[in-house]
Chains A and B, each alone.
Chain A
Amino acid sequence: MFALSDHLLHLEGEALPREMDAQAVRCLLAGGLACRAPVTGAVYGTLLNDRASLDALGEAMHAPPYGAPPEAPILYVKPRNTLAGHRAQIEVPAEAPGIEVGVSLGIVLGRTATRVSEAHALEYVAGYTTVADLSLPHASVYRPAVRFRARDRFCVIGPALVAKRHVATPDRLELTARVTGQRDFTANTASFVRGASRLIADVTDFMTLSPGDILTLGAPHGVPIAHAGEQAIVAVGGFAALHLSFVDTAQSREALR
Chain B
Amino acid sequence: MTRGRVAYAGAIHEAYPHGDGVRLADGRLCREEDVVWLAPIEIGTIFALGLNYADHARELQFAKQEAPLVFLKGPGTVIGHRGVTRRPREVAFMHYECELAVVIGRTTARNVPREHAMDHVAGYMIANDYAIRDYLENYYRPNLRVKNRDGGTVLGPWFVDAADVPDVGNLELRTYVNGTLRQRGNTRDLITDVPALIEYLSGFMTLAAGDVILTGTPRGTVNVDAGDEIVCEIDGLGRLVNTLAPDAVFGRE
Contact = CB atoms under 8 A, between A and B. Distances in A.
A146 B68 CA distance: 10
A206 interface: yes
18 contacts: A44-B74, A44-B144, A47-B139, A47-B140, A66-B138, A68-B137, A71-B137, A79-B45, A79-B205, A81-B205, A141-B139, A144-B70, A147-B67, A151-B204, A206-B149, A206-B150, A208-B150, A210-B76
A70 interface: yes
The majority secondary structure among interface residues of chain A is: loop
B71 to A, nearest CB: 4
A97 interface: no
Contacts of A76: 72, 140, 144
B141 A144 contact: yes
Interface of B: 44-45, 47, 67, 69-77, 110, 135, 137-145, 148-150, 204-208
A200 to B, nearest CB: 14
Interface string A107-145: 000000010000000000000000000000000011111
Given A47-B140, A80-B208, A151-B205, 15 more contacts: A42-B76, A71-B137, A73-B145, A76-B144, A80-B45, A81-B207, A144-B69, A144-B141, A144-B143, A146-B47, A147-B67, A151-B204, A206-B144, A207-B149, A210-B75
Contacts of B142: 144
A115 B93 CA distance: 22
A75 B45 contact: no
A168 interface: no
The majority secondary structure among interface residues of chain B is: loop
A70 B143 CA distance: 11
A41 B36 CA distance: 25
A205 to B, nearest CB: 9
Q: Most chain-A CB neighbours within 10 Å: which of B44, B69, B148?
A: B148
A228 interface: no
B143 A42 contact: no
Contacts of B206: 81, 152
